[in-house]
Amino acid sequence: MASAASVNVEELLRSVEENVRSLEKAPNVVRYSSEELRRLAEQHAIKTKYGNLVFMTCVRNRSAGLTVYVGGPRVMDHQKLNEKQTGILEKVPETLHKVHNYIKRAPLVRIDKVMGGNEEFTPLCTMYVSVQRRDSVRLAYMLDLLLFDESETVLGRDRPRLYLLYVPEWQEKDRQILVFPEIGVTYVLGSDYFGEAKKGFLRMAMWCAKQRGFLGIHAGAKIVRARGPDGRLRRYSMLLFGLSATGKTTHTCHDHCLDPGLGEGIEIVQDDVVFLRKDGSAYGTEKGFFLKTDIDPVNQPLIWGAATKESVALENVLVDYTGEVYFLDDTLTGNGRGVFPRSNLNPEHLSSSINLPPLDELDGMIIIFITRRNTVVPICSKLTVEQAATAFMLGESVETSAGDPTRAGESVRVVGMNPFIVGDPVEEGLWFYDFLKKNSDKVQCYLLNTGGVGEIMIKRGRKVIIEQRALRPQIQETAAIIRGIVRGTIKWTYEPYFGTMVPSYVEGVSIEKFKLENFYSREQIENLVTQLKLERAHYLLGNYPSFVKSVQLTSELAKFTGLDVVGYDVVLSDREEVLVRRGELLRIIDDRLNNVKGLHKG
């Protein structure tokens, strides 16, 4: 929890609003056309053999650990701040004074865009970029590719105004991102990473959407047409949730080898964030896709084709002196990025709309949570309503050596697989749970594990030793699983450890090779399963007990969450016991975790 007692929040917000509004007619602000932005940005780029542009940045990742939300209790009370964030918050009045003095003198470029295209809700997005460093103009160019011009989209009745101020040249020691959700303003200070603009606007828009009864979700969206065993062609909407590096965009933009000759196919809608409504419809946000550039033409042909056209802006991708692009080379960074217009995708696989239709216009909806675990989580699990709602709250994956080598293999959990939630995460989890319950006859939910099974890892201090690598499902195998889901051809069997249904047969995939018994002894399996279940129970009870109290507690949910090993029978008999016995249950979990934690992580 972050305290705002030491600052007058209302005064701060008023100051921010006044200073941002003052830029409307400021003499140091200029605007450029799309053509002018491209021409100016091109002066600071490497041109590839495809004719697209590659830019090099100083900061190559989002500064999540330096991002602070400022506002009233609904905004502030659910932050968990690290030491640096606490220091940033304490100095907000001083920082704002410096920023507001600076932007009166710095040369600024302004760009106005629209998020979404529908008759109800389309935020208006204005970005001011300091071009004291001339190459910073590329940030405006990339936003121009990502969002809509007012003339090329449908404007909604409700158009909240969102502002983002970029000062890339701010001192590195004071790098920070200040978010003021209630007034729709974000300041990006000391970073030139474009992801701060993209996520900055989406974060504010998701907050606005929540106030209007929608749920902003971090998920790819598409329409899938597939013919079932009965010969009938069905049309489903599909949402794919996933943290970075799990395969969300890869599988959103994959055709799953469906057969066009049978009328099957996909219609890609969005790759990152949509605003979900209780009728199952969803409003899209962007006209461009923000890709991670570790792509190849064999496994990701649709993305590859879109990313190798002229109208693409890339960041920190290796290009040689001939203009050849090395998408899979991570010499410069493991987080190469790019923006391409969604119109670059093959039109055969592209939806004409950026929005999903309501459920009453479809045969159903398929929701897929993509995780990346490496040990005992099945590569595919069919979830009950309660398990799916809890999977949303768990938002589970693992840390990779590319992310933080000192934490490799450790669990990462982010509610909704969405690092951009402002406010109470439980509020969003219960909205999603209510949505699933109301639409249980038309919504199917699955958990796909793209990490694999079978890993044995040893950590000695800061050193990580992989004694046995996980057997990972290949992209085509995961695509085959999704194809089997939409066609309805998978055969299912009960999985006793986590209480889910798992495939016993998938066309095109040898399911037998992923059996845990191929990699571990019975004792190892039980220890790894117990460790994961205890971690889940500790996370839910320790952070979100009100969610656990609100969801219907079933035996299947108990196995999925680990409550079956920490006194679930007591919790089931009395719902109030979740809160009353929380401390005791957490102590039990800690003791048991200490017993089962050994050489294995993940």
State the pLDDT confidence band at 5, using cuts at 50, 70 and 90.
very low
- CB count within 10 Å of CB 298 equals 9
**Reduced to 3 DSSP states, what percent helix, strand and coil does the chain have, rounded to the nearest 5?**
40, 25, 35
- Alpha carbons 525 and 517: distance in angstroms, whole number: 8
Whether 253 and 161 share a structural domain = no
Whether 452 and 570 share a structural domain = no
User: Per-residue pLDDT tens for 319-364?
Assistant: 999 999 999 999 999 899 999 999 999 999 999 999 999 999 999 9
pLDDT of residue 599: 40
Give the mean pLDDT of the chain.
93
User: Per-residue pLDDT tens for 516-544?
Assistant: 999 999 999 999 999 999 999 999 999 99
Whether 562 and 591 share a structural domain = yes
Q: Which of 517, 540, 571 is the last residue of a domain?
A: 517
Whether 14 and 143 share a structural domain = yes
CATH code for the domain in which residue 374 is found = 3.90.228.20
Whether 68 and 127 share a structural domain = yes
- Say if residue 600's pLDDT is above 60: no
pLDDT of residue 401: 45
Beta strand 364-371 with 233-242 is parallel
pLDDT of residue 258: 98
Tell me whether residue 15 is in a domain: yes
- Say if residue 1's pLDDT is above 50: no
pTM of the complete model: 0.94
Return contacts of 436-442, CB within 8 angstroms, 24+ apart. 436/385, 436/388, 436/389, 437/385, 438/278, 439/280, 439/359, 439/365, 440/385, 442/280, 442/359, 442/362, 442/363, 442/364, 442/365
User: Per-residue pLDDT tens for 242-259?
Assistant: 987 788 989 999 999 999
State the pLDDT confidence band at 61, using cuts at 50, 70 and 90.
very high
User: Per-residue pLDDT tens for 63-72?
Assistant: 999 999 999 9
Structural domain for 465, as ranges? 216-283+348-517
User: Per-residue pLDDT tens for 364-404?
Assistant: 999 999 999 999 999 999 999 999 999 999 999 877 544 45
pLDDT of residue 120: 98
- Alpha carbons 300 and 250: distance in angstroms, whole number: 7
User: Per-residue pLDDT tens for 207-245?
Assistant: 999 999 999 999 999 999 999 999 999 999 999 999 877
Whether 133 and 74 share a structural domain = yes
Tell me whether residue 153 is in a domain: yes
Tell me whether residue 331 is in a domain: no
CATH code for the domain in which residue 112 is found = 3.40.449.10
For residue 292 the two structure tokens come to 């991670």
pLDDT of residue 237: 98
pLDDT of residue 601: 44
- Alpha carbons 274 and 237: distance in angstroms, whole number: 13
For helices 137-146 and 34-42, angle between their N-to-C axes, nearest 10 degrees:
130
The runs of H, that is alpha helices, within 544-581 are 545-550, 555-561, 568-573, 577-580
Tell me whether residue 127 is in a domain: yes
Whether 374 and 407 share a structural domain = yes
Residue type, 424: D
Tell me whether residue 102 is in a domain: yes
- Alpha carbons 591 and 297: distance in angstroms, whole number: 49
Tell me whether residue 162 is in a domain: yes
pLDDT of residue 144: 98
Tell me whether residue 225 is in a domain: yes
User: Per-residue pLDDT tens for 290-315?
Assistant: 999 999 999 899 999 999 999 999 99
* Cβ atoms of 360 and 277 closer than 8 Å: no
Return contacts of 517-523, CB within 8 angstroms, 24+ apart. 518/454, 518/471, 519/453, 519/454, 519/456, 519/468, 519/471, 520/376, 520/454, 520/456
Q: Report the percentage of the chain scoring pLDDT > 70.
A: 94
- Alpha carbons 94 and 353: distance in angstroms, whole number: 45
User: Per-residue pLDDT tens for 173-185?
Assistant: 999 999 999 999 9
Q: Which of 465, 484, 517 is the last residue of a domain?
A: 517
Q: Which of 158, 185, 213 is the last residue of a domain?
A: 213
- Alpha carbons 233 and 226: distance in angstroms, whole number: 6
- Say if residue 4's pLDDT is above 60: no
How far from chain centre, in Å, is Cα 568?
Answer: 31
Whether 383 and 249 share a structural domain = yes
- Give the chain's count of helices (H) and strands (E): 18, 28
- Position of tokens 């979830």? 383
595 contact partners, CB below 8 Å, separation of at least 6 = none
Q: Mean pLDDT, to the nearest integer, of 81-85?
A: 95
Whether 463 and 403 share a structural domain = yes
- CB count within 10 Å of CB 141 equals 28
Whether 399 and 502 share a structural domain = yes
**What is the number of structural domains in the chain?**
3
pLDDT of residue 517: 97
For residue 341 the two structure tokens come to 């217009």
Beta strand 29-31 with 108-114 is parallel
Whether 477 and 549 share a structural domain = no
Whether 242 and 157 share a structural domain = no
Tell me whether residue 547 is in a domain: yes
Q: Give the closest residue to 135 by CA, choosing from 106, 169, 165.
A: 169
- Alpha carbons 209 and 275: distance in angstroms, whole number: 7
Q: Mean pLDDT, to the nearest integer, of 144-173?
A: 97
